[in-house]
Chains A and B, each alone.
Chain A
Amino acid sequence: MSAPELLSYRLWVNGHAREVEGGRLEESLLYVLRERLGLTGTKNACEEGECGSCSVLVDGRLECSCTILAASAVGRDIVTLEGLSPGGGATALQLAFVEAGAVQCGFCTPGLVVAVTDLLARVPEPTDDEIREAISGNLCRCTGYGRIVEAVRRAARAQAAGMRTAP
């Protein structure tokens, strides 16, 4: 078999231009983020669009990065888990996950954090049904979701309190 054709292109990830050199056409965005750009906060639990562990925001929309070809994401605005807290610290949502006991093995956690960040931006005070529906594309095998729902409630409350006290 002949050697595959190699591509070079530029992605916008977390507000920065990132060069991809010698990539292959069939590489998913998930693969390029993890293996070429070192952004392993995006997880790879199924690579078939069924688990949500690879969730990223593409042009502000929640997407599974495993189902997108990286080379097709040129020119799009990609935000990964790492881009949610640019300073490197923890967001209130991440803190809520830890404090509510929503993290066990933690493999689902990054994807959930991205999905819930998206939810709370759209629906600041979600009902339990809205929370469950919003995270129903994110599989978690460890927690049974009870503490995750609780973490989202807490984060929503914290966000609402923050907004009320904001000048």
Chain B
Amino acid sequence: MIVTKAPPLPRLGKSLRRPDGMAKARGVFKFSSDLDEPGMLWGHLVRSPHPAARIAEIDISPARAMAGAAAVLLAGDVPGRPTYGLNYPDQPVFASDEVRHVGEVVAAVAADHPLTARRAAEAVAVRYEVGEPVTDPEVALRAAPVHPLGNVLAEQRVVRGDVAAEGDVVVEGYYETGMQDQAFLGTEAALAVPDGQGGIDIYVATQWLHIDQDQISASLGVPHDQVRVHLAGVGGSFGAREDLSMQIPLCLLALRTGRAVKMVFGREESFLGHVHRHPARMWYRHSADRSGRLVKVEARILLDGGAYLSSSPAVLSNVACFAAGPYRVPNAFVEATCARTNNPPCGAMRGFGSVQVCVAHEAQMDRLAAALGMDPIELRRRNALRPGDDLVTGQVLEGAVPVIELLEACSSAPLPPERHWETTEPGDLALPGGSGRAAEPLRVRRGVGVALGFKNIMFSCAFDDYSVARCRLEGGRVTITTAAAEVGQGLVTLLHQIAGEVLGTDEVVLAEASTVGIGSAGSTSASRQSVMTGGAVQAACQAVADAVLAATAARVGVPRASLQLAGGRVVSDDGCVDVPVAEAGALCGECFEETVTYQHAATAELDEKGQGDAHVAFVFSAHRAVVDVDVDLGLVKVVEMTTAQDVGRVLNPLQLVGQIEGGTSQGVGFAVMEELIVEHGRVRNPSFTDYAIPTALDMPPVRIAALVQEPQPGLPFGAKGAGEPPAISSTAAVLAAVRDATGVAVNRAPVHPPDIALALAPGTRAGQGDAGVTPS
């Protein structure tokens, strides 16, 4: 079902095929790991095996002496700024005096073969004086500083209304989310090519070219314009490529050796070499009156940020803003803190901040419904945000707020047929655990759960967020230039459609994304590119269309005011002129070129009480999960996911479905299988063997119950970004379904089989207390 409140457009809203799709299917699309250059070297990084240690000595001579090794670099070889970081440069390019997490980079080597490079890296002899790591975020807040900047990476309170208010019914709960990995398939890879004059070109899979350029330039001590960052084919990102991975060491190796150098992370190194989703501990207290209206939400939320800052402030701000969920909450007290520890650094991942709190606020809503003896759907309906309401941050919601529509669509969708387990053979694929695990058909229980969530889109909190696009129209052909990173989501298709829409043509070419000759497009994150770079392309094309209109008036000899732009065409009042803009431009025999910067409406910082118009727009999401659980083994099979999404306007239906299904599956994975296990600062499962992501057998069909198209005022075409919302509420919905199936008060994502099986084992009482974990 598509709920449409938007008039159709000629090109937008169609499922145009991806321009790069066939190249990818045929294997000729060049991913960053596919690049090569004659005579290139291979780089490898030396990483700390310890979560906390002092570096006593580094001996590079055995590595240097190795046949085929070309260079070994340490901290002293960094000519410019010795540190880097997305928000603040608190992370050393190479650790020199101490290491703060497992995987921290200590040295880099280049050699003539990747195996030699790896051996040379292993031969770099680092003598560590191993220290005691701080690995518990609660302990970190009281511990000696892990870093000179202290152990509080970010904190934010939200205080609203009367914090002493209390409803008739009170429910409390403790919830946890684990460390999730983005686990994109194309590991980090790049090729750096020195230009022989001190400058460098780097071809890299990244999310934000210009912020890479800023950081690389600062640490290389090479002027900005001599560091040229080019987008190489990206095999997925989901947040993990927003921070630098290898860019600075790789460029340093290339400059030092005077040769092209390529580096490709293996899967284990990828797990160690990028940020993860912040683990969260969340203490909640909800109170409501007897009719189920929320009176107050209190929450204390603690994130583990790991050793370095990365984007923790933005994640934490989201945690605080969205802690209460998409509900009317007159009184609130939220205290959110992100601690620095010796665990792996955490940062951006799809839906950040919202995903974690959704697990908690939705479990609380279910708990409250049970305490009130009320249907959980009805409780949500009663409290759902509506247009014109304000958030706990005091920000008034403008435009579309279809929370109730999403909830209705999801909860009223038909349910999948019940299984008749009595006739099922053991080993049936449909059983929890699939064919390989011995679930007992008669011990399988079905459950259904619903969850709502929401999030900001675009950058918030007074960030200067913009994107630059250039449109060039020559001989009827349109060339669009931006520095926006296509990471798999399909932005390239949308930019084609948008340019075509404004200029009335399908003859659109996208120039390669790079930092050369074009300003920043900002990050491919925060569901922002279809709005921001889409908006910039629309505006640049519109400026070209205006110029074509003026030139056409002069050419035809009519007053400018007698011509208009309509549906990608130049038309005259009398109907004598009616031609697509691109064609009209060709007829003028000129080249038209316009470069435009698109900026969204300004946002404000949150004050110390967490009040302020910090966000430019919001998206809302709903999921319903149906699960089958073997109550003896604790195995969960997700049978079906149903979702409803608030999209503003559908720009490309097929790609939107792809975002929804993909985002939903990452949420399903987080609910039932995905967790980086970190013990004493060490990641125990950095492989696809041990860090399982959903396969085609784990991931059920996704039913899209509704796409609510209510164009958002102030956004280009009224379209909201769609990358993150599908990932927000799916995890919480699956956990709710598991609780429904088992009666176990599952309070943790992901839920592991023992959390269920042990809670239901003979001698325990299901549903008593919180299964899985207890607060430390």
Chain A interface residues (CB < 8 Å from chain B): 1-4, 24, 26-27, 31, 34-35, 40-48, 50-51, 53, 80-82, 85, 90, 94-95, 97-99, 101, 103-110, 113, 129, 131-133, 135-149
Contact = CB atoms under 8 A, between A and B. Distances in A.
A40 B67 CA distance: 27
A132 B695 CA distance: 8
Nearest to A3: B67
B236 A107 contact: yes
B529 interface: no
A25 B178 CA distance: 41
Contacts of A35: 36, 114
Contacts of B68: 3
Given A106-B488, A141-B236, A1 B688 contact: no
Given A26-B115, A139-B695, A141-B238, A45 B21 contact: no
Contact of A101 (B238, B655, B696): B655
B80 interface: no
A150 B99 CA distance: 48
A40 B696 contact: no
B185 A105 contact: yes
B488 A104 contact: yes
A144 B27 contact: no
B489 A48 contact: no
A80 B28 CA distance: 12
B561 interface: no
20 contacts: A26-B115, A46-B687, A98-B22, A101-B657, A104-B488, A107-B185, A107-B186, A108-B185, A110-B24, A110-B25, A132-B429, A133-B429, A135-B695, A136-B695, A141-B183, A141-B662, A141-B693, A143-B662, A145-B695, A146-B661
Contacts of A85: 26
Given A136-B696, A144-B661, 15 more contacts: A1-B67, A24-B115, A46-B688, A50-B267, A98-B22, A101-B655, A103-B18, A104-B662, A106-B24, A106-B233, A113-B27, A144-B694, A145-B694, A146-B701, A147-B654
A71 to B, nearest CB: 14
B658 A53 contact: no
A120 B69 CA distance: 47
Interface of B: 15, 17-18, 20-22, 24-31, 33-34, 36, 66-68, 113-116, 119, 123, 182-187, 233-236, 238, 264, 266-267, 429, 487-490, 654-655, 657-658, 661-666, 687-689, 693-697, 699, 701-702
A48 B30 CA distance: 22
Contacts of B666: 141, 144
Nearest to B21: A98
A103 B24 contact: yes
A44 B114 CA distance: 14
Given A3-B67, A40-B27, A46-B688, A144 B662 contact: yes
Contact of B687 (A1, A50, A101): A50
A94 B18 CA distance: 13
A132 B696 contact: yes
B490 to A, nearest CB: 7
Contact of A94 (B22, B116, B185): B22
A122 to B, nearest CB: 17
Contact of A90 (B15, B17, B22): B22
B699 A144 contact: yes
A139 B693 contact: yes
A80 B185 CA distance: 19
B236 A142 contact: yes
B556 to A, nearest CB: 41
Nearest to B653: A101
Contact of A44 (B123, B236, B264, B661): B264
B727 to A, nearest CB: 11
Contact of B185 (A24, A40, A45, A137): A45
Nearest to A81: B27
Choose among B27, B28, B67, B663 the residue with the greatest number of A CB atoms under 10 Å from its CB.
Answer: B27
B365 to A, nearest CB: 26
Contacts of B488: 104-107, 142
Contacts of B490: 104
Nearest to B119: A1
Contact of A43 (B15, B36, B185, B266): B185
A139 B21 contact: no
A97 B25 contact: yes
Contacts of A149: 696
Given A1-B119, A48-B687, A141-B693, A147 B429 contact: no
Contacts of B27: 40-43, 80-82, 109-110, 113
B184 A105 contact: yes
Contacts of B696: 131-133, 135-136, 138, 140, 145, 148-149
B236 A105 contact: yes
B458 to A, nearest CB: 22
